[in-house]
A and B are shown apart, each in its own frame.
Chain A
Amino acid sequence: MTSQPPDSAAPAVQVADLSVELGGRLILRGVDLQVRQGAVVAVLGTNGSGKSTLIRTVVGLLPAARGQVRLFGTPVPRFRQWKRIGYVPQRITAAGGVPATVYEVVSSGLLSQRRLFTPMHASGKRAVEDALQIVDMADRRKDAVAELSGGQQQRVLIARALVSDPELLVLDEPTAGVDLASQQIFADAIRDRVARGTTVVMVSHDLGPMDALIDRSVVLRRGRIVYDGPPHASQTHAHVHHSHGGDEPGWLTS
């Protein structure tokens, strides 16, 4: 991280008093959030609590009705260094009206670094191969995306976000529908990047193998942040850790 621009000290994401309106309703109300560089933050909350709305506003897809979002110190409407951002949207189908291969879709993740009217560099091709390896889709690179299963398509979208080696990963339920083995591979890839200083903001209902990487969680309820702090304390675990420890009193013995 030697060739960092002077704003390297700026938080990766800075959300100040953010309100967002959709269809005439306030979906987010006065959200404040700071994510320092290198942090791994989980955004939690029930369906409809505004997680995707927050994520989509952070990457500039939705306008702020009030307040402001800054990425690496620059307000989003003026932000231009999109190659520093990797984004996985929530469950959109990866297919259009014309067939497209896994390789072609993953390559589109490199467009932020590509000049107009020029072909892809050799380094770009290598990056695509690496990203395909990470999600274990290298042998499907010539297959049409529309012919993949939902979880496989999700893995393609993850590869598309990872391929540009961004400094900030913004992930909206990236591993929904992805099997445990692939989630583990994905978590390992994220761990490598976090070790190199990558910042991660991710929404997930089931963190799975990512659990160990999270160093902070934020809980949304009806468009407000109701918890912001260390992980676990906040989470209502669906699965209760159950054990019959030998020294645990209070149960019958034969």
Chain B
Amino acid sequence: MTMFQLEFMQRALIAGLLTGLSAPAIGTYLVQRRLSLMGDGIGHIAITGVALGLLTGTAPVFTAVIVSIAGATAIELVRARGKASGDVALALLFYGGIAGGVLLIGLAGQGAATLNTYLFGSLTTVSSSDLYVVVGLAVTVLVVAIGLGPQLFAVCQDEEFARVTGLRVQLLNLLIAVMAAVTVTVAMRTVGLLLVSALMVVPVATAQQITRSFRSTFVTACIIGVVACLAGIVTSYNANVAPGATIVVLALAGFVVAATAGTLIRRRQGRVAPLADAEPEVGVPVPEPHVVSAGHPHAHNPQCGHTKVEHDDHVDYVHDGHLHAAHGDHWDEH
């Protein structure tokens, strides 16, 4: 019996596949908005959500979705109102989330072991009902991230311009925040809350090493995310190590490879294609501004009486507040 026939491994691989797709998909928009650490912030808030679920005896995935959506909305509102810059708003939630989580877990009387399964992911305990929730959430995220791609791109690229094209910018920003929250809870069981941000950011950073367009960055990041997740799960099964950490280490290794390859490719291209200044100069304007004095009937000469000024290799004549110099058959303004 191979590992692929084990039911829990099949569930793990499906959950991994969906995390690998949805985390970089929404991560691309976060990186575009320079909010790379938003996923991490929401991850910390989700800890409070998990603890709340354990305390009240509700499904932790459910309470984590609710609390992290509330937290993400709060981040977005604080940022939009301009009360604090994006990174300060994030920091506030980081600390609030983790402190609240630890407090509540203590109240619930659950040990570190329970919390650990959410902090670092535990694929082997994914139940089929967990899986349905994960599939539903991930598909929603992907439909929005792809279907509303052009609109979300415009909002992340240039918010003011997006408003003038009539887009509901506030609503779309909120949508990104909520989708990030949903993605975090999807990834809770695979990479875990502490490392989910890595899966949102690292594949995007890796893709950027070799791409030029937003669309190709998006697609490449998703592919890298899926490969890292599936490979990480298989490796962790064979080597009996934590899946979340394995996935992230693989993703980071991918980044190192891509960064090196990207540098080499660019160097190679630079060698093959001539540099801009190696091309023949065609139609390049003469460096010095060349202004011809309009209608100049007077011919200056050393005895004409106008003040003479030495200028590099020639003489300028002070004339009517201007400097005039002989050039061929006419006079230049110098």
Residues of A within 8 A of B (CB): 56, 59-61, 80, 82-83, 85, 87, 89, 92, 94, 96-101, 103-105, 107-109, 111-112, 114, 116-117, 120, 142-144, 160, 242-246, 251-254
User: For window 141-189 of chain B, which residues contact chain A by CB distance below 8 Å?
Assistant: 147-148, 150-151, 153-154, 156-158, 160-167
- Whole-angstrom CA separation of A251 from B295 in the bound complex: 13
Please indicate the chain A residues that have their CB under 8 angstroms from the CB of B320 in the complex.
242, 244, 251
- Whole-angstrom CA separation of A97 from B200 in the bound complex: 14
Distance of B316 from chain A, by nearest CB (Å): 15
Please indicate the chain A residues that have their CB under 8 angstroms from the CB of B154 in the complex.
108, 111
Distance of B284 from chain A, by nearest CB (Å): 12
CB pair A244–B298 under 8 Å, yes or no, is yes
CB pair A111–B162 under 8 Å, yes or no, is yes
CB pair A98–B161 under 8 Å, yes or no, is no
CB pair A101–B213 under 8 Å, yes or no, is yes
- B221, closest chain A residue (CB): A98
Q: Which of B160, B217, B300 contacts A89 (CB 8 A)?
A: B160
CB pair B297–A92 under 8 Å, yes or no, is no
- Whole-angstrom CA separation of A108 from B148 in the bound complex: 12
B34 within 8 A of A: yes
CB pair A87–B161 under 8 Å, yes or no, is yes
- Whole-angstrom CA separation of A107 from B204 in the bound complex: 22
CB pair A61–B32 under 8 Å, yes or no, is no
Q: Which of A85, A104, A160 contacts B214 (CB 8 A)?
A: A104
6 extra interface residue pairs, beta carbon distance < 8 Å, beyond A56-B160, A98-B31, A98-B204: A96-B32, A105-B157, A111-B151, A242-B294, A251-B319, A254-B301
- Whole-angstrom CA separation of A252 from B299 in the bound complex: 11
User: For window 207-249 of chain B, which residues contact chain A by CB distance below 8 Å?
Assistant: 208, 211-215, 217
CB pair A107–B164 under 8 Å, yes or no, is no
B304 within 8 A of A: yes
Could you jot down 30 A-B contacts, CB within 8 Å? Answer: A60-B163, A82-B166, A87-B164, A89-B158, A89-B161, A92-B158, A92-B160, A97-B31, A98-B217, A99-B208, A99-B211, A99-B212, A99-B214, A104-B214, A104-B215, A111-B151, A111-B167, A112-B166, A116-B147, A116-B148, A116-B151, A142-B212, A244-B293, A244-B294, A244-B297, A251-B320, A252-B298, A254-B301, A254-B304, A254-B305
- Whole-angstrom CA separation of A117 from B143 in the bound complex: 9
Distance of B103 from chain A, by nearest CB (Å): 34
B322 within 8 A of A: yes
CB pair A111–B298 under 8 Å, yes or no, is no
Distance of B48 from chain A, by nearest CB (Å): 28
CB pair A252–B166 under 8 Å, yes or no, is no
B33 within 8 A of A: yes
Which A-B residue pairs are the 10 nearest by beta carbons? A82-B166, A108-B154, A112-B165, A87-B164, A98-B32, A101-B213, A117-B147, A243-B294, A254-B304, A100-B214
- Whole-angstrom CA separation of A252 from B300 in the bound complex: 11
Known: A101-B212, A243-B294. A96 touches B165 (CB 8 A): no
- Whole-angstrom CA separation of A104 from B298 in the bound complex: 57
CB pair A243–B212 under 8 Å, yes or no, is no
Please indicate the chain B residues that have their CB under 8 angstroms from the CB of A246 in the complex.
295, 297
B28 within 8 A of A: yes
- B215, closest chain A residue (CB): A104
Q: Which of B160, B204, B213, B296 contacts A244 (CB 8 A)?
A: B296
Distance of A217 from chain B, by nearest CB (Å): 24
- Whole-angstrom CA separation of A242 from B331 in the bound complex: 13
CB pair A97–B33 under 8 Å, yes or no, is yes
CB pair B213–A142 under 8 Å, yes or no, is yes
Please indicate the chain A residues that have their CB under 8 angstroms from the CB of B151 in the complex.
111, 116
CB pair B295–A104 under 8 Å, yes or no, is no
CB pair B295–A98 under 8 Å, yes or no, is no
B63 within 8 A of A: no
B36 within 8 A of A: yes
Known: A60-B164, A107-B150. A96 touches B157 (CB 8 A): yes
Distance of A128 from chain B, by nearest CB (Å): 12
- Whole-angstrom CA separation of A190 from B33 in the bound complex: 32
Please indicate the chain B residues that have their CB under 8 angstroms from the CB of A89 in the complex.
158, 160-161
Q: Which of B215, B295, B305 contacts A245 (CB 8 A)?
A: B295
- Whole-angstrom CA separation of A242 from B320 in the bound complex: 9
User: For window 313-334 of chain B, which residues contact chain A by CB distance below 8 Å?
Assistant: 319-320, 322, 333
CB pair A82–B164 under 8 Å, yes or no, is yes
B 61-79 binary contact with A (CB < 8 Å = 1; else 0):
0000000000000000000
Please indicate the chain A residues that have their CB under 8 angstroms from the CB of B36 in the complex.
97
CB pair A59–B164 under 8 Å, yes or no, is yes
Please indicate the chain A residues that have their CB under 8 angstroms from the CB of B153 in the complex.
100, 104, 108
CB pair B31–A160 under 8 Å, yes or no, is no
CB pair A100–B295 under 8 Å, yes or no, is no
Please indicate the chain A residues that have their CB under 8 angstroms from the CB of B301 in the complex.
254
Please indicate the chain B residues that have their CB under 8 angstroms from the CB of A94 in the complex.
157-158
Known: A82-B164, A89-B161, A112-B166. A100 touches B213 (CB 8 A): yes
Q: Which of B165, B297, B304, B305 has the most CB of A within 10 A?
A: B165
Please indicate the chain B residues that have their CB under 8 angstroms from the CB of A142 in the complex.
212-213
Distance of A166 from chain B, by nearest CB (Å): 10
CB pair A243–B166 under 8 Å, yes or no, is no
